[in-house]
Structure 1
Amino acid sequence: MAYTHVIVEVSERLVGTITLNRPDELNTFNSLLAGELASALWAMDADPAVRVVVIKGAGKAFCAGIDINELADKSAMEYRQWIEHMEQPLLAIARMRKPVIAQVHGVAVANGMGLVAAADLAIAAGNTKMGLTAINVGLNCVGPVIPVARCVGRKKALELLLFGDLIKAPEAQAMGLLNRVVEKEALEAETKTWAESLAKKSPLAIQIAKKGFYASEDLPYERQFDLMNEAFARLCTTQDAKEGVQAFFEKRNPRWQER
């Protein structure tokens, strides 16, 4: 598929990269970018040559939210359909089988911050700033705050939502929004190394782990164990599980069956 606002690449080491490509607009979401990003994510999920997906932004920002040039002259129903379309990539990540890493630099605000929070993992340059900033122009980020709240908890999420302040990368990491913070110059290389390391793991084990994690997230405590134990039991019957244990005992690298 040909894209206008995203660039899609697949490396020989099983890492797929999706670059948001509206640098002059700080990679803000318009309807086309939102649709293309969702389509690219699903295409990566179906591609046997991809085990791990990285999302990053072209130019000086990761993503500055939603393009407000599309905001005017809609009915309430049209606004509902429009915002749901903008949020499709955030939902797609949780539904995908494969892990998604956000590679963040510059600013990641509003829907951009939601995209970082929705990603399974996130690594950022030390100069990154993040925030749910829509409140500052009389709007709000009630969609992006959903994945943000799952990372930081209710009180901090409400503070971010209602005040719209920017936070720096170290604070975002302390809150649980980022896994790693690295020097700006090292971001590309560090992300590549991290993604390629993850791609070496059993793809089947990772996919079952991710699916189980999201499926169990809102269940009662005891029911979470039931679901996860069922997932573990199914994994143990697979060839990858048997191969991984055998390779451990034989002190060799495993040969995974599922790409």
Structure 2
Amino acid sequence: MADMERVDRETLYVEKYPSDRYAVVTLHRPDVLNAGSPALFGELADTIASFETDDQVRAIVLTGNGRAFSAGADLGGMTFDSMGDCRRFIRLAHAPFEAIERLGKIVIAAVNGYAFGFGTEIALACDLVLASEKARFGLREMNHGLVPAVTITRGVDMIGRRRVAWMAYTSDDISAEEARELGFVNRVVAPESLAQAYTELAVRMAKRAPLAVAATKWALNKQAGGHYREGENLMPAIFASADVAEGRRAFEERREPVFRGE
């Protein structure tokens, strides 16, 4: 077995394999299916950014611990006292996406299970996506009066307007194979083969020419900054709406929300 160095943080852990020059970042909030939170957003952004100057790592895998990749964002953390607080939250939520897209190294999403909302969107931000046959994708934000800001801005460029429209408006879940057919999963593998598949791909990508990789990522992702700014301008008004408050109450009370357009 290759040598491995592990670092544990509050919401994730990192396993580095210096001899093969790759790392695996595992989201680790299993009690809430690895849901996104301010702590997770900050730790994931910092971790990804740290690889820019880490010469021992040339490829990164992002996956989840347990039966979920990430089942969305933690709705309990989405209450704000002011528009300024909301804007700061959105910027923090976008930080890991931008860190992935700015990093001059290949990031591979290994989607092991549920990938809803934040989970679908952070997979879209990665350069390559492998998915277990058990993976499920979906944008459930509109069920709670919210919008999937990253996908309706950045994601349109990645997978197309009609595909984003269907996922956003319906909130329907899709399978790993459907996601591959839509174009945002590269390869679907058996659950027991996912670790082997991402390891082989990471080792292969770590051998790619670093300057060519960085130049390719820059060319592919050069529009990213503007798309994230669009989301930051869009979301504060949505978060401040009565519909979002109703969506949160309905989620906590396990009932259907009644939205009034307010």
TM-score range, shorter chain: 0.7 to 0.9
If asked which structure has higher relative contact order (CA below 8 Å, sep 6+), I would say 2
Q: Deviations over 1:17-51 (max 9, x none)?
A: 11111011111111111000000001112200000
Distance 1:120 1:106 in 2: 19
1:20 aligns with 27
Query: Higher mean Cα deviation, 197-206 or 129-138?
Result: 197-206
Q: Equivalences for 1:9-88 in 2 at 5 Å?
A: 9-11=15-17, 12-88=19-95
Aligned 8 A contact 2:124 2:158 in 1? yes
Separation of aligned partners in 2, 1:2 and 1:45: 19
Note the C-alpha offset of 1:86.
1.0
Which has the higher mean CA deviation after the structures are superposed, 180-189 or 81-90?
Answer: 81-90
Asked if residue 176 in structure 1 is aligned to residue 183 in structure 2, the reply is: yes
User: What letter is aligned with 2:9?
Assistant: Y
Distance 1:126 1:17 in 2: 20
The answer to which of 198-207 and 47-56 deviates more is 198-207
Residues 210 and 73 (structure 1 numbering): CA distance in 2 closer, same or farther, change over 3 Å?
Answer: closer
- TM-score normalised to the size of structure 1? 0.80
Residue in structure 2 matching 1:150, options 157, 167, 170: 157
> Is the alpha carbon distance of 1:217 and 1:38 closer, same or farther for their aligned partners in structure 2, counting shifts above 3 Å?
closer
Contact (CA 8 Å) 1:102, 1:116: kept in 2 or not?
yes
Residue 88 of structure 2 aligns to which amino acid in structure 1?
A: Q
Alpha-carbon RMSD across the aligned residues, in angstroms, is 1.8
SS of the equivalent of 2:15 reads strand
Q: Percent identity?
A: 32
CA contact (8 A) 2:101 2:224 kept: no
Q: Which residue of 1 aligns with 2:230?
A: none
Partner of 1:191: 198
**Structure 1 residue aligned with 2:13:** 7
Mark the CA change 1:111 to 1:200 in structure 2 (over 3 Å): closer, same or farther: same
Return closer, same or farther for 1:28/1:216 CA change in 2, 3 Å cut-off. closer
Deviations 1:88-136 (A, max 9, x none): 1111111111110000021111111110001011000011110111111
SS at match of 2:222: helix
Uncovered stretches (5+) of structure 1, i.e. residues with no partner: 219-259
Q: 2:109 maps to what in 1?
A: 102
Amino acid at match of 1:5: T
Q: Does structure 2 retain, via aligned residues, the 8 Å contact 1:132–1:165?
A: yes
CA drift at 1:57? 0.5
Aligned to 2:232: none
Q: CA deviation at 1:62?
A: 0.1
- Of residues 127, 136, 142, the one that matches 1:120 is 127
Matched, 1:163 2:170: yes
Specify the alignment match of 2:228 in structure 1.
none
Q: Which amino acid aligns with 1:9?
A: E
Larger radius of gyration between Structure 1 and Structure 2: 1
Q: Deviations over 1:181-237 (max 9, x none)?
A: 00011001111001101111222221222223323799xxxxxxxxxxxxxxxxxxx
**Matches of 1:185 and 1:124, distance apart in 2:** 11
- Cα 1:147–1:125, aligned 2, differ >3 Å: closer, same or farther? farther
Of 148-157 and 53-62, deviating more is 148-157
Give the length in aligned residue pairs.
218
CA contact (8 A) 1:132 1:145 kept: no
| Within-5 A mapping of 1:124-143 | 124-143=131-150
On the 8 A contact 1:151/1:175 being kept in 2, the answer is no
Residues 217 and 20 of structure 1, relative CA distance in 2, 3 Å threshold: closer
Contact 2:26–2:65 (8 Å) recurs in 1: yes
**Separation in 2 of the partners of 1:83 and 1:98?**
25
Q: Which residue, out of 219, 224, 227, partners 1:212?
A: 219
Contact 1:115 1:144 in 2 (8 A): no
